[in-house]
Structure 1
Amino acid sequence: MTAGGAPITVIGSANLDYIVRVPTAPGPGETVLAGAMRKSPGGKGANQAVAAARLGGTVRFVGCVGDDDDGALLLRELRAEGVDSAEVEVITGEHTGLAIVAVEDSGENSIVVVPGANFALTATRVTRVVRRRAGGGLVVLQGEVQPRIIAAAATAARESGSRFVLNLAPFVELDSDVLATCDPLVVNESEAAAITGRPVGSVGSAHEAARQLLERARSVVITLGARGAVWADADGAGVVPAPAVDRVVDTTGAGDAFVGALAVRLAQGAGLRSAVELGVRAGTYAVARDGAQSSYAMSGELVDVAAGA
């Protein structure tokens, strides 16, 4: 084990985000004028890899990009952040994944993702990488890859003795054996509702949903935005409140900041509550800044967040 803990293998999407600032997101048939547009590295997989690396994790990223300028930019950024990108495949003739992100003045966002090269990732390659390189560490996935990729990674993680962390965002249907491997399953309120079939809109209902999901997964985390996060495992359950922020600037990628931080703390051998505490602080830090990866904290920058600054 290195100083940063057990190795973290993040498997998932890498997108270039096209971010536009709007007063409010357009409704059906409506046109709105954006105040600005900028491009920024994104994708849930790459975001979580960068978030973990910035907090000292030993991180490798497994995914695909196209043979275009966007793909080259994403690879440069991953390497600059200290993420091992040797397992990122460049797909000839395919465009790099992209996301159109509309950020409202309130900080809330609406996102449309075009997967592109992300869907060229194969179960065979994921299985090979996990078996060869992830033994004893963490394997982290999200819902922005095809369900068969998630299933293959879960199987390979079990067989290699790796801890499987799944952020099921966006929600996709998965077999029960995949959910049973999750340690933890990380979802937000809407994703928890999609799995349980019951609305989740409060801390109390999140606790109830976590108890239900604990019957299907090894451990569970439900993120609640400004209210923090609820967790549950075999040793107990609880809620970690989020520190207050003066102003929410941009919620894009805040959930990925949470998952990356959680993975780092778990890789260091901490319990789930401690991991959720760091995740909440990382997510809180991110929402007060623009962008996804550009908003993520370095280790020392979370001290003030912990104090409620």
Structure 2
Amino acid sequence: MKQKKIIVIGSSNTDMVVKTSNFPKPGETVLGGEFLMNPGGKGANQAVAAARLGANVSFVGRVGNDLFGKEAVAHLQEEGIDVTHIEYDAKLSSGIALITVDQKAENTIVVASGANNALHVDDYSKLDALIDADAIVLMQLEIPLETVRQMAQYAKSRGALVVLNPAPAAELAADILQFVDIITPNEHEISTLTQTEVTDAETAGKAASLLAAKGPAIVLVTMGSKGVLLFQENNQHAFAAEKIVAVDTTAAGDVFNGAFVAFLSKGYSLHQAIALANHAAGISVTRNGAQSSAPFLHELSIDF
């Protein structure tokens, strides 16, 4: 079976991470511990996660014409990702994310999007050779919603499979969701999308039903230690999370999404791709960093 191409359209940031025992309250200063600076951004994270699992990945994005942007592009190249569709912005800086991680491995993130906010595709003919029926297009919401809508519609018209990770949480109009084949919110994001509170598999299933009615044929709700819920054709299936000791959950969702499309591209079944993505995400939270936490193919136990 021919392996499908993966085209990740999304953000690239530089993550600046500080570890702390507790998050500061408003107006409070706390002394943190270790400081790390890593390549990040949901789009770039997902591209790296997929590439490390042997997928054929191209990245479509925008960075500033600065040191952060040049280093981000160089890093993606080192990971074996096609970067020919990344543009440099002459005016805006590259995206930056300020991240704090507490002793429970939970995190808070503030993003200055920079050039990511200027990611627009004015000439679709440049992507005609890239996006076709042999492609899986993966997007997130750290780029303009109008770009997400236009690219979802374009990819769908070209016969590609459209996967949307609706993160960070935002309300989405039907003119986006109607072009999405698979949507992968976490419990907080699906709560925003459906205006319902999601706390467990039962409430996740009800919310997934509401979301599927707006367009996506498949809804995957990622719930961290509570596992993953698949909703498809009015049926649902729960995948348990692996029992692990988390160190840093910063990019767990990104690793899940990148791994999920990677295994779909290789011809694995939907259930197999979800199980393997769950496994990859579990490995990632035992490590520090975003892209650096994504596992390689040889680190996964594949028994299908």
TM-score bin (small chain): over 0.9
Change (3 A) 1:128 1:226: farther
CA distance in 2, matches of 1:88, 1:124: 14
1:166 maps to what in 2? 164
Matches of 1:254 and 1:302, distance apart in 2: 15
* Distance in 2, Cα, partners of 1:199 & 1:44: 24
Alignment of 1:85-124 (within 5 A): 85-124=83-122
How far apart in 2 are the matches of 1:285 and 1:135?
32
What displacement does 1:91 show?
A: 1.2
Q: How does 1:70-149 map to 2 (within 5 A)?
A: 70-125=68-123, 127-136=124-133, 137-149=135-147
- 1:65 maps to 2:66: no
CA deviation vs aligned residue, 1:47-98 (integer Å, no higher than 9, x gap): 0000000001100000011111111110111001011011011111321100
Q: 1:191 to 1:68 in 2, by over 3 A?
A: same
Q: Distance in 2 between matches of 1:130 and 1:197?
A: 35
In structure 2, distance between residues paired with 1:91 and 1:158 = 28
Q: Does 1:232 align with 2:224?
A: no
Q: Of 10, 23, 34, which residue of structure 1 is paired with 2:32?
A: 34
Report the Cα offset of residue 113 of structure 1.
0.3
- Measured in 2, the distance between the counterparts of 1:10 and 1:167 equals 11
In 1, the alpha carbon distance for the partners of 2:265 and 2:213 equals: 24
What displacement does 1:214 show? 1.8
Are residue 19 (structure 1) and residue 11 (structure 2) matched? no
| Residue 132 (structure 1) shift | 3.2
Kindly state the Cα deviation for residue 300 of structure 1 after the two structures are TM-superposed.
Answer: 1.6
How far off its partner does 1:235 sit? Answer: 8.0
Q: What SS class does the counterpart of residue 62 from structure 1 fall into?
A: strand
In structure 2, give the amino acid aligned to 1:62.
V
Q: Give the alignment's TM-score, normalised by structure 1.
A: 0.93
TM-score (norm 2): 0.95
Deviates more, 1:54-63 or 1:232-241: 232-241
Cα drift, residue 131 of structure 1:
3.3
Q: 1:150 to 1:129 in 2, by over 3 A?
A: farther
Q: Over the residues paired in the alignment, what is the CA RMSD in angstroms? A: 1.6
Whole-angstrom distance in 1 between the partners of 2:273 and 2:125: 28
- The equivalent position to 2:259 in structure 1, one of 261, 266, 277, is 261
The answer (yes or no) to whether the contact 1:231–1:272 under 8 Å persists in 2 is: no
Q: Percent identity?
A: 38
CA separation in 2, counterparts of 1:269 and 1:302?
17
Instruction: Write the distance in 1 (CA, Å) between the matches of 2:12 and 2:106.
Output: 21
Deviation at 1:290, TM superposition (A): 0.4
Tell me the alpha carbon deviations over residues 32-52 of structure 1, each in whole angstroms, 9 at most, x when there is no partner: 111121210000000000000
User: Unaligned regions of 5+ residues in structure 1, if any?
Assistant: none
More helix as a share of residues: 1
Question: Any conservation in 1 of the 2:118–2:144 contact (CA below 8 Å)?
Answer: no
The 8 Å contact of residues 131 and 156 in structure 1, kept in 2 or not, is answered as no
Aligned equivalent of 2:149, options 148, 151, 157: 151
Q: Give the distance between the partners of 1:295 and 1:148, measured in 2 at CA.
A: 31
Q: What is the match of residue 48 of structure 2?
A: 50
* Residues 204-227 of structure 1, C-alpha deviations (whole Å, 9 max, x = no match): 111221222221221100000011
| One-letter amino acid of the counterpart of residue 136, structure 2 | L
Q: Which amino acid aligns with 1:157?
A: A
Structure 2 SS opposite 1:79:
helix
Query: SS at 1:25's partner residue?
Result: coil
Distance in 2 between the 1:129 and 1:46 partners? 20
What is the CA–CA distance in structure 2 between the aligned matches of 1:30 and 1:254, rounded to whole Å?
28
Task: Give the equivalent residue in structure 1 for 2:204.
Answer: 206
Determine the C-alpha separation between the residues in 2 that align with 1:205 and 1:131: 40
